[in-house]
Structure 1
Amino acid sequence: MSKRVLEVRGVSKYYRLGVIGGQTLQQDISRWWAKINGKPDPLSPIVEDELEKEVIPNSDKDYIWALNNINIDVNEGEILGIIGHNGAGKSTLLKILSKITAPTRGEVKIKGRIGSLLEVGTGFHPELTGRENIYLNGAILGMTSTEVSQKLDEITHFSGVEKYIDTPVKRYSSGMIVRLGFAVAAHLEPEILVIDEVLAVGDFSFQKKCLNKMGDISREGRTILLVSHNMASINNICNRAIILKNGRSIFDGKTSDAVSAYLKKAGGTGGQIAWDQESDNIPGNEYAQLISMSVHQDGNLIPCQNIDLFKDIEIHISYRCLIPETQLYTAFWLKDANMIPILSSANLPHTRKGDDKLSCNPHKSGIYTSICTIPGPFLNEGGYHLTAILGMLPTDNKKSEVPWITITLQEDALSFIACDMGEMRKEGNYGRWLGILRIPFEWNSEFISA
């Protein structure tokens, strides 16, 4: 049975808005006196009964709950992903676990040392050199200078800042600080490693190195808590994930299920979107309307939020023809997680492969589905966004100077995650490959001479 290293029980945290300290010296003194006597803050708008009942009061609306009644158990060797929108409470939770701030209510039990990599520069003194900051962080973790010295070469080599190790940290770029911070946190061997989104500052090669290192740390039996907006990284490396929303935990379970639930709540996307056919704002016009867009694999009719990048990907676009003899076509745009366009495709005669007999030909009234197949492996690991397009050829009573007319364009209508679920992942190759696409090419090697 796995050893439990972290217990979070009923943790809540609120902040007053626009108020730092009391407005008078008398208020500051009354707060201080209550604190040293173990009594509630006399100026707090929240009373004990309200916290017990988990009621969020709204009397003055001059405060905000960053966390509310969070309960988490984490075992040794787990990599726990923490996901949620900005303002969900992720960073506040990590600050409480790192003992940077105290909870308003509840308790946290930690077994072992905890190393944190939160905001850029956290834990570093700007006037000290990189080397001095390494020893400072080791001392904070309770390590002797001899123990830190044994790890020094590994830390500097991993971070890639050997040349600047004796330069004050205030001269470092943000990327250098992040690289050194992660190297220190990972190599000084805390039992629990807490990492916020700061890895997004590092370059691609260092991000990949960090993901591989986190896999090594987990296999050594140490625990990692990772906050990230990169769903591919969460899905790839974490064996469990929680979703925070408005300071509450709304999901705790299998990572793939958490990612799927998060994407669905991110705006009705995550593998499928169906437009309300009863709405006055249904995308379309008097000739045709969009019904749905979805992503599929393995011939499965159930949409997929998590795609195996080694398999073919099917993009389904369903639409309704309202006026007979209308010549319709479908198309889509594909963007990566950074909204960089990857490709576009349409079933227009000059842009498609194969013979789509319905495309741009007269349609009967009714419902249709166009399917585009992207052969795998093609996409790299990461998140992707699809834009749905429905168009038509000009009619006699709808003259146009262009060869086709866009009826509706639903930009970034749905999203999905492409993941390496095959043999490469088993070999410990975490993270994305270099580049936008991951296409295997044919290679041949031959012996030339001795």
Structure 2
Amino acid sequence: MLALKAENISKQYRLGQVGTGTLTHDLNRFWHKVRGKEDPYLMIGESNDRSAKGSSEYVWSLRDINFEIEQGDAVGIIGRNGAGKSTLLKLLSKVTKPTTGKIYTNGRIASLLEVGTGFHPEMTGRENIYLNGAILGMTKKEIKRKFDEIVDFSGVERYIDTPVKRYSSGMYVRLAFAVAAHLESEILIVDEVLAVGDAEFQKKCLGKMGDVTKGEGRTILFVSHNMAAIKALCNRGILLENGKLAVAGKMNAVIDSYFIGKVMETDGKRQNIPLEGKGYFKSWEVGGKKDFSIDSDKKEKFVFEYDAKEKLTNCELGFVIRNSDGSIILGCNSRDYGGDFFTIDKGTHQFTFELALPVIHGKYEIDIAIVSNNILIDQWVSETKVIVKNKFESVLAEQWRGSLNLESKFYYD
């Protein structure tokens, strides 16, 4: 059964203005409508690409979005900042109307788009629970039945009769999420607001959202930049790029497209070549691939090209891979496993490390250095990152995993 369906939805905004624009534009729209013609301003406007300078005063925040979401699906919506994720959620939540297209929903929608959505600051936490429930179409009896569970989950019992304007942002989002998740709506829409809460509460919220989809069969739409949380919770995904739907499908495939699409155009070539020194790294590649992606369970050759300006003796090479927070997760040295110092003649050379990267799905930074006679000759942190892909299909494989994916065997009687 379908829970949500988006049919050719688009959203256009006029830059620098509130509303549709000038009186002239409004009259022009009215005249076209009277004559049975299309809005003339739907024919203009530019895509929502913040990296390019535009000339039009109209911009399409979303353009021609089509998708269907089944009941019980957990859908992760990902994309860069400004891709249109929050705009899409506002349209689905009926906070704003689409410029074109239609949205079909089956059931009541609870949304948490920003801290304190739907709360009145002068009212107490208790009063806001009843107000929010009424807005979602719940009866007083239904809200009363869930009230103690909501308060217990939020952890703000001591302040439940205090006006919410005196709550911290963390308390605000705790209560708001508790209301949205526990009241009996068929569709739950959650934006990046969980980032406000502490780590313990975020984990609690993700667990609750998992229960909502798997245990209660309700539908969730979840926007986040935390790919680990997205992968753990969601079975389906939507990738938005510049206001357009780039990919929709299984969450793993959508995340692959997101990471691969963000490989920089440098293609492993060094941008800032050092003018002085005895030599420098020029480029690197992995497995001869252009997309710089590898599978976590396969060995690949990391090949580095080096230009020596003069002969170097007693050389060794260091190669490390860092995760997104800069921590080293793997380090190799040319002298590991019985290697020795080596000599490099003047000219261009290739150095190769062959290894597997048994790590979780994501992007990793490449950092390589060369030393001669214990003196650092050159070190390069590449602008292009390696993308490691994992192959997971089952529910357990998605959720029960750590930072490493080491080779193992399983036996049973």
SS at match of 1:142: coil
Q: Which residue of 2 aligns with 1:155?
A: 150
How far apart, in 2, do the equivalents of 1:105 and 1:124 lie? 30
TM-score by length of 2: 0.80
Q: Contact (CA 8 Å) 2:300, 2:354: kept in 1 or not?
A: yes
In the TM superposition, what whole-angstrom CA distance separates every residue of 1:37-87 from its partner, at most 9, and x where no partner exists? 9948xxxxx963674x79759996112111011111100011111111111
Q: Which residue of 1 aligns with 2:88?
A: 93
Q: Which residue of 1 aligns with 2:106?
A: 111
How far apart, in 2, do the equivalents of 1:59 and 1:303 lie? 32
Q: Which residue of 2 aligns with 1:5?
A: 3
Q: 2:342 aligns with which of 361, 385, 404?
A: 361
Q: Which residue of 2 aligns with 1:140?
A: 135
Q: 1:417 to 1:131 in 2, by over 3 A?
A: farther
Q: 1:417 to 1:319 in 2, by over 3 A?
A: closer
Q: Does residue 1:275 correspond to 2:268, yes or no?
A: yes
In the TM superposition, what whole-angstrom CA distance separates every residue of 1:404-444 from its partner, at most 9, and x where no partner exists? 32424225641557989599x629967x98xxx7899xxxx
Q: Which residue of 1 aligns with 2:12?
A: 14
How far apart, in 1, do the equivalents of 2:337 and 2:244 lie? 50
Tell which deviates more after alignment, 126-135 or 327-336: 327-336
Q: Which residue of 2 aligns with 1:398?
A: none
Residue identity opposite 1:129 in structure 2: T
How far apart, in 1, do the equivalents of 2:393 and 2:66 lie? 34
How far apart, in 2, do the equivalents of 1:145 and 1:33 lie? 47
In the TM superposition, what whole-angstrom CA distance separates every residue of 1:220-267 from its partner, at most 9, and x where no partner exists? 211111111111111222111111111100111121111111111223
Q: 1:232 aligns with which of 228, 233, 243?
A: 228
Q: Does residue 1:266 correspond to 2:262, yes or no?
A: yes
Q: 1:405 aligns with which of 376, 395, 398?
A: 376
Q: Tell me by how many angstroms 1:208 deviates.
A: 1.1
Q: Which residue of 2 aligns with 1:126?
A: 121
Q: 2:318 aligns with which of 320, 323, 330?
A: 330
In the TM superposition, what whole-angstrom CA distance separates every residue of 1:163-222 from its partner, at most 9, and x where no partner exists? 111111111111111111111111002111101011111111111111111111111211
Q: Does residue 1:319 correspond to 2:295, yes or no?
A: no
Q: 1:119 to 1:383 in 2, by over 3 A?
A: farther
Q: Contact (CA 8 Å) 1:231, 1:417: kept in 2 or not?
A: no
TM-score by length of 1: 0.74
Residue identity opposite 2:281 in structure 1: Q
Report the count of equivalent residues. Answer: 392
Q: Does residue 1:188 correspond to 2:183, yes or no?
A: yes
Q: Does residue 1:390 correspond to 2:369, yes or no?
A: yes
Percent identical residues: 40
Q: Contact (CA 8 Å) 1:54, 1:69: kept in 2 or not?
A: no
RMSD: 4.0
In the TM superposition, what whole-angstrom CA distance separates every residue of 1:63-112 from its partner, at most 9, and x where no partner exists? 21110111111000111111111110000000011011111111101110
How far apart, in 2, do the equivalents of 1:427 and 1:151 lie? 33
Residue identity opposite 1:239 in structure 2: N
Q: Which residue of 2 aligns with 1:207?
A: 202
Residue identity opposite 1:20 in structure 2: V
Q: Does residue 1:426 correspond to 2:396, yes or no?
A: yes
Q: 1:418 to 1:197 in 2, by over 3 A?
A: farther
Q: Which residue of 2 aligns with 1:345?
A: 331
Q: 1:305 to 1:321 in 2, by over 3 A?
A: closer
SS at match of 1:250: strand
Residue identity opposite 1:247 in structure 2: G
How far apart, in 2, do the equivalents of 1:158 and 1:306 lie? 40
Q: Tell me by how many angstroms 1:345 deviates.
A: 3.2
In the TM superposition, what whole-angstrom CA distance separates every residue of 1:376-409 from its partner, at most 9, and x where no partner exists? 6xx7x78553232232315xxxxxxxx2324242
Q: 1:135 to 1:123 in 2, by over 3 A?
A: same
Residue identity opposite 1:6 in structure 2: L
In the TM superposition, what whole-angstrom CA distance separates every residue of 1:279-331 from its partner, at most 9, and x where no partner exists? 88679987453543559xxxxxx975675xxx7x9785421344596424032
Residue identity opposite 1:263 in structure 2: F
Q: 1:245 aligns with which of 228, 241, 248?
A: 241
Q: Contact (CA 8 Å) 1:8, 1:108: kept in 2 or not?
A: yes
How far apart, in 1, do the equivalents of 2:330 and 2:217 lie? 45
Q: Contact (CA 8 Å) 2:46, 2:58: kept in 1 or not?
A: no
Q: 1:427 to 1:61 in 2, by over 3 A?
A: closer
Q: Contact (CA 8 Å) 1:238, 1:255: kept in 2 or not?
A: yes
In the TM superposition, what whole-angstrom CA distance separates every residue of 1:315-359 from its partner, at most 9, and x where no partner exists? 8542134459642403225233xx35355735165xxx53334xx
How far apart, in 2, do the equivalents of 1:140 and 1:131 lie? 15
How far apart, in 2, do the equivalents of 1:263 and 1:89 lie? 18
Residue identity opposite 1:414 in structure 2: K
How far apart, in 1, do the equivalents of 2:197 and 2:311 lie? 55
